[in-house]
Structure 1
Amino acid sequence: MKGTAILYKKDQTLTIIENIDHSVFNEIQKQCGCDQCTCKYDNKVVNFGAVSPVFWHEDEIDWDYGY
């Protein structure tokens, strides 16, 4: 299943990752609250830093409409 992950950072910024597998989201969610959140995405290891909380939205977000 593919969807969109929404990661909230401690500096009040957002990171939005579209078209990812739910398994990648689960990996990020397990690291929620840690100082360094790393996962393999798009055939490379990505460090998102500290994220908390994270949310999942099935499918893609229609940015023109808002969801």
Structure 2
Amino acid sequence: MPARSKAQQQAAGAALAAKRGEISPSELQGASKSMYESMSEEQLREFAATKRKGKPEHVHK
């Protein structure tokens, strides 16, 4: 499932970096912290790899 917005893609990238040990999980906040706790590395990789072109900054529910 691809990211629906640029913000979601960026949050997934931060969570993925924490999963890989590139940054400390304590540095995460908000959506990236939630994604880190609830998603696998494979799911995060898929979200983070989404192309940003044509995506809105944020998607409102």
- TM-score (normalizing by structure 1): 0.35
Q: Where is the helix percentage greater, Structure 1 or Structure 2?
A: 2
Q: What TM-score does the superposition give when structure 2 sets the normalisation length?
A: 0.38
Bigger share in strand: 1
